[in-house]
Amino acid sequence: MLDIKLVRENPELVKDNIKKKFQDSKLPLVDEVIELDKKNRAVITEVEALRAKRTNLSKQIGALMGQGKKDEAEAIKKESQEIGQRIIELEAEQEKLGEEVRTRMMVIPNIIDPSVPVGKDDTENVEIERFGEPKVPDFEIPYHVDIMESFNGVDFDSARRVSGNGFYYLQGDIARLHSAVLTYARDFMIDRGFTYCLPPFMIRSQVVTGVMSFAEMEAMMYKIEGEDLFLIGTSEHSMIGKFIDQIIPEENLPYNLTSYSPCFRKEKGAHGLEERGVYRIHQFEKQEMIVVCKPEDSMKWYNQLWKNTVDLFRSLDVPVRTLECCSGDLADLKVKSCDVEAWSPRQKKYFEVGSCSTLGDAQARRLKIRVAGKDKKYFPHTLNNTVIASPRALIAVLENNLQADGSVLIPKVLQPYMGGKTVLTPVKK
């Protein structure tokens, strides 16, 4: 959510930003906010004037009563009561106007960083850099589900009977490799100085609307029927929510945290073959990294966060690249974002395995997270990035380490988490 002062003083900047995000339907909101804010401030001014007048009348009443002028005092008391009633009416109007301003402000997108390329959607994202040499072996690589089934490692039929489409059972060596990837990612981040956390997997609506836009909420979140609780789509939601309504001592910054959680997403819509299987699913597990920092440190942390993910995948022998997300591909709260994509030798292209974002002070404003600085209180910046999400990361590990005989070499860094195993041998062809 933007600072109302910015909208008030720089409406054209806000409108230009909306245009860059190709959300022209939101342009009228800027003028509506300015007009409603003007009315609200006029009401506030009137309330303050009436309160001052009522205070003055109270002093007059006391003086008149002391002089025995009861009738004059009663007349002024009546006037004071009428002012009190008017204040009550104006306060109700002020609350209504404030809510109307807030409702509109919640859907006006955050100001994007000047470095963000302008584009309508993810097809216009810009490749930044490649890490590792993408290779295509001289043998055919099966669909990732077929690789898993060769190890008797996945069961969709049972999952459909139990939960429906979009769910799965992982088992045997594949389940163990999945857990190894996540545990390794946890230790990787701890070694980089991040504090490990296990957060709540359900959050209240106040937190949901604090960390994401209404459009994202509707597209992603599962609501717990009959309760003010939602299943998290990523642990970023509950980790940023951890600081709701808090005033943080400046000396405590930055908070650099890494959290594990299962994640739950609706994932509506039809998807092609490569996005089925265990790629785009309703339930998965993820290691996340979150930073709460001073505004001036935001970009330094942003660059450090995405590099962590690149380094992690390279340690798993997986080539990756980074993509700068264009303006139209940024969620409304994001200032700047880049995706990390892993190489798929089967598809002969990259696919998304992580996303790094800085959200400026948008989440902090919504959640009323403030920092007590030396001279003043201010809103911190928040950032998040995927360390690893599996079983999507599992696909990258399997494809990039598959051998011609169907076996899979276990990356060296994962071997301690696999009981010392160096290779997985298929149990069926």
Indicate the pLDDT class of residue 429, thresholds 50, 70 and 90.
low
pLDDT class for 268, splitting at 50, 70, 90?
A: low
> What type of residue sits at position 63?
A
| pLDDT computed for residue 279 by the predictor | 84
Distance between CA atoms of residues 420 and 412, nearest Å: 9
Given a contact cutoff of 8 angstroms between Cβ atoms, the answer to whether 367 and 251 are in contact is no
Instruction: Give the sheet arrangement for strand 377-378, strand by strand.
Output: 247-249, 370-372, 377-378
Give Cα separations from 349 to 79, 345, 365 (angstroms): 77, 7, 39
**Which pLDDT tens digit goes with each residue over 120-141?**
999 999 999 999 999 999 999 9
Stretch 251-269: mean pLDDT, rounded? Answer: 91
Sheet holding 202-203, edge to edge: 202-203, 230-231, 222-223
User: pLDDT tier at 67 (50, 70, 90 boundaries)?
Assistant: confident
Supply the pLDDT for residue 270.
47
pLDDT over 70 percentage in the chain: 98
pLDDT, mean of residues 387-402: 95
Please give the pLDDT value at position 196: 98
Domains present along the chain, CATH in parentheses: 4-105 (1.10.287.40), 122-424 (3.30.930.10)
Q: What is the pLDDT of residue 214?
A: 74
CB 189 within 8 A of CB 287: yes
Query: Which of 198, 240, 193 minimizes the C-alpha distance to 384?
Result: 240
Mean pLDDT across the stretch 274-283?
A: 77
160, pLDDT greater than 50 = yes
Report, as an integer, the average pLDDT of 391-406. 95
What average pLDDT does range 83-111 have in this prediction? 94
pLDDT at 13: 97
For 171-189, what is each residue's pLDDT tens digit?
A: 999 999 999 999 999 999 9
Average pLDDT over all residues of the chain: 93
Q: For tokens 């209504």, what's the residue?
A: 96
pLDDT tens-digit series, residues 293-307? 999 999 999 999 999
- In this predicted structure, what is the pLDDT of residue 278? 85
pLDDT classification of 269: cutoffs 50, 70, 90: low
Virtual CA dihedral for 255, 256, 261, 263, nearest 10 degrees? 90
pLDDT of residue 401: 96
**What are the C-alpha distances in Å from 413 to residues 58, 184, 190?**
77, 8, 15
Name the residue with higher pLDDT: 65 or 116. Answer: 116
